[in-house]
Amino acid sequence: MALDAESFDLLLATVQRFVRERLVPAENHLEEHDEVPPAIVDEMKEMGLFGLTVPEEFGALFARLIKETPGGDTVRSDCLCLSVALLGELEGRAPAARRDGARTGQRVYCTGWPGESGAGLSLLIGALRDRSGQVSRPVRDRLIRRHQAPEPRVEAGVRLRRLASRRRAGLAMIDISDGLAHEADLIARASKVGIEIDAARLPVSPALNRLRDGSGADPVAFILHGGEDFELLFATELTLAQIQADFRRAGIDTPVHEIGRVVARRGVFFRGGDGRIRPLRHAGFEHFAQTPALDTGRRRGA
Return the CATH number at 243: 3.90.650.10
Residue 297 has pLDDT above 60, yes or no: no
- Mean of all residue pLDDT scores within the chain: 82
Stated pTM of the model: 0.71
Domain assignment present for residue 25? The answer is: yes
Q: Which of 237, 271, 243 is nearest to 256 (CA)?
A: 243
With a pLDDT cut of 70, the percent of the chain lying above it is: 75
pLDDT at 176: 95
Whether 140 contacts 233, CB under 8 Å: no
Domain assignment present for residue 289? The answer is: no
Q: What is the mean pLDDT of residues 225-240?
A: 96
Domain assignment present for residue 296? The answer is: no
Domain assignment present for residue 295? The answer is: no
pLDDT at 172: 98
> Is the domain of 127 the same as that of 245?
yes
pLDDT at 19: 78
More confident residue, 103 or 16: 103
More confident residue, 9 or 185: 185
Domain assignment present for residue 300? The answer is: no
Strand partners, 271: 198, 277
Tens digits of residue pLDDT in 159-200: 999 999 999 999 999 999 999 999 999 999 999 999 999 999
Window from 24-33, 122-131, 202-211, 270-279 with minimum mean pLDDT: 24-33
> Is the domain of 73 the same as that of 104?
no
Q: How many domains, the chain? A: 2
pLDDT at 82: 61
> Is the domain of 63 the same as that of 124?
no
Window from 64-78, 167-181, 207-221, 223-237 with minimum mean pLDDT: 64-78
Residue 274 has pLDDT above 50, yes or no: yes
> Is the domain of 51 the same as that of 183?
no
> How far apart (Å, rounded) are the C-alpha atoms in residues 105 and 121?
35
Whether 240 contacts 109, CB under 8 Å: yes
- Alpha-carbon dihedral of residues 254, 258, 263, 266, nearest 10 degrees? -50
Q: Which of 50, 47, 90 is nearest to 71 (CA)?
A: 50
> Is the domain of 187 the same as that of 49?
no
Tens digits of residue pLDDT in 29-84: 766 776 778 888 778 777 766 655 555 555 555 555 555 444 555 556 666 566 66
Domain assignment present for residue 169? The answer is: yes
> Is the domain of 76 the same as that of 200?
no
> Is the domain of 140 the same as that of 214?
yes
Tens digits of residue pLDDT in 76-124: 666 656 666 667 788 888 899 999 999 999 999 999 999 999 999 999 9
Range of the domain at 160: 99-279
Q: Which of 38-52, 244-258, 271-285 has the highest mean pLDDT?
A: 244-258
pLDDT at 219: 94
